[in-house]
Amino acid sequence: MSSPLEEVCAEVLKRVTPTATEKKKVLSLAKRLVEKVQEGAEEKGVEAEVRVEGSVAKNTWLRDCPEIDVFMRVPTSMPREAFGTVCLEIAKKATEGYRQIERFAEHPYLEAVTGDNVWVNVVPCYRVKRGGWISATDRTPFHTDYVKPLLDEQKSREVRLLKRFMKGVGVYGAEIKVGGFSGYLCELLVLNYGSFVEVLRSAADWKEGTTIDYERHYERKDDAKKLFQEPLVMVDPVDKKRNVAAAVRKEKLYEFIAASRAFLETPDQKFFYPPQTEALKQTELINKINSRGSVIVFISFEACPAVPDVLWGQLYRSQRALRKLIQRHDFTVLRDAVWSNEKNFNTFIFEVENRFLTNMKRHLGPPLRKREDCEKFLQKHAGAESKVSEPRVEGERWIVDKQRRYTDVVELLKEKLRDGGANVGLAEYVSKAVSESLKVMVNDEALNLYSGSPEFAKFLTEYLEGKPRWLVCV
């Protein structure tokens, strides 16, 4: 008889593993794409080595979302600009008839979607020797070559389980928006720990700074730990100077740890396939917000022209700056979040204990033992206009009650963000968009945002619910 854990894994495995027919279809599509890219390159006189990389090459893709990565390795003599010109043309030609999206992050490439909803990436990179990396994706073929011989059929299954689990609990993806675990990192984790369940068992005891060096590039783990600053360290087997887990943010690391513990405690398919959130009806939403007793401030703005990784980097940076601004003015932030449809609708959410603060603020002066500081303090505050009552000695220090400059968080935000808020730390693109289209709303004032976007409505519903969706299972 199998355990509940084994049963859940067996069930999930059926859902994540492509059937033989499906595999064949994806692989033959991949093969056709390679040929087309090869032909295109030859036509343009580009001497390219064209290969399938990623999850399709390694047999670790998830059944419901196959994604074919076709890489064209070009000679190092080619100028970098060619990635965005001739390489892109080759990619476009090869995926003619598909929906095409040009991606221009630091590395230009083409994304395309087939009629069957298979995602295709055609990515240029340099054909370099190991260690001679020029562009960001030059390591990818080495990753494929490294992992492929080590992953047998059994290990591939474990990788699929782990990826699906990470998707389910919301920590999958190395893009800035998520700040989580890449597919390659999942593969290395399975290699290192042996199986999906063993990864979770170990993760349940991970700490900040946990370091894995599967290839033992470093004699002592501490050497690797010292080299990398990130919360989780996985030394890249093909490049000892690179941390495969560099993208994993602290929050995501801890969410994965918490989810691992919860799943091992109470195995459930919901970890892999969380129930869809149903957005609250407007009246429910208003009741829910009002019954909290807190105040939810929405700081929204429109188009912010930046590619997703840049946009999310700037959104998160701006979120931190806003949090500090609000806290510096003595409002208690209970929680905050940020939402973007990556097009024309962005909003920060700050939930504070009170919209209004009292006029009066207790201002700590220096301790009596610092005599010079005391003199300065008294010169500044005795008789000053901004005080409510004169300085006094309380315990071992001077104290004065002052008038507060901002007693309304909405007023504070409107005033500080009027000109875009660059000087309070909002990032460049965000600041520009804020200066053009800022709206500050409180509680049900944001109802039109809610009714205008089903995706945002779901997001806000989940926010109000608070818990990670997988906590249902605990």
Task: Give residues in contact with a second copy (CB under 8 A).
Answer: 204-205, 207-208, 250-251, 254-255, 257-258, 261-262, 265, 291-295, 332, 334-335, 353-354, 357-360, 362, 368-369, 371, 374-375, 378, 382, 388-401, 407, 464-468, 471, 474
* Cβ closest to a second copy, residue 290 vs residue 341: 290
Q: Which residues contact 191 (CB under 8 A, 6 or more apart)?
A: 147, 150, 151, 155, 214
Please, what is the minimum distance in Å from the beta carbon of residue 171 to a second copy? Answer: 10
Please, what is the minimum distance in Å from the beta carbon of residue 376 to a second copy? Answer: 13
SS3 287: helix
Please, what is the minimum distance in Å from the beta carbon of residue 298 to a second copy? Answer: 18
Residue 351 CA: distances (Å) to CA of 108, 133, 397: 38, 45, 33
Please, what is the minimum distance in Å from the beta carbon of residue 258 to a second copy? Answer: 5
* Cβ closest to a second copy, residue 13 vs residue 473: 473
What's at 472, amino acid-wise?
V
* Cβ closest to a second copy, residue 122 vs residue 285: 285
Q: Which residues contact 335 (CB under 8 A, 6 or more apart)?
A: 351, 463
* Cβ closest to a second copy, residue 399 vs residue 447: 399
* Cβ closest to a second copy, residue 148 vs residue 335: 335
Please, what is the minimum distance in Å from the beta carbon of residue 203 to a second copy? Answer: 11
219 CB-contact burial (10 Å; exposed 0-12 / middle 13-18 / buried 19+):
exposed
> Is the C-alpha dihedral spanning 234, 238, 240, 243 positive or negative?
negative
Please, what is the minimum distance in Å from the beta carbon of residue 239 to a second copy? Answer: 29
Please, what is the minimum distance in Å from the beta carbon of residue 355 to a second copy? Answer: 10
* Cβ closest to a second copy, residue 281 vs residue 392: 392
Pairing between strand 210-212 and 232-236? Answer: parallel
Residue 462: half-sphere exposure toward Cβ, Cα within 13 Å:
20
Tokens of 356: 């209004």
* Cβ closest to a second copy, residue 47 vs residue 375: 375
Position of tokens 């087997």? 237
Please give the Cα distance from 299 to 406 (Å, whole number): 17
Please, what is the minimum distance in Å from the beta carbon of residue 205 to a second copy? Answer: 7
> Is the C-alpha dihedral spanning 341, 347, 353, 354 positive or negative?
negative
* Contact present, 300 and 439 (Cβ < 8 Å): yes
Please, what is the minimum distance in Å from the beta carbon of residue 362 to a second copy? Answer: 5
Please give the Cα distance from 436 to 439 (Å, whole number): 10
* Cβ closest to a second copy, residue 121 vs residue 260: 260
Give the angle subtended at the CA of 213 by the CAs of 123 and 127, to the nearest 5°: 25
| Alpha-carbon dihedral 312, 317, 323, 329, rounded to 10 degrees | -140
Length of the chain: 474
SS3 439: strand
Please, what is the minimum distance in Å from the beta carbon of residue 193 to a second copy? Answer: 18
* Cβ closest to a second copy, residue 195 vs residue 294: 294
Q: Which residues contact 436 (CB under 8 A, 6 or more apart)?
A: 301, 302
* Cβ closest to a second copy, residue 140 vs residue 461: 461
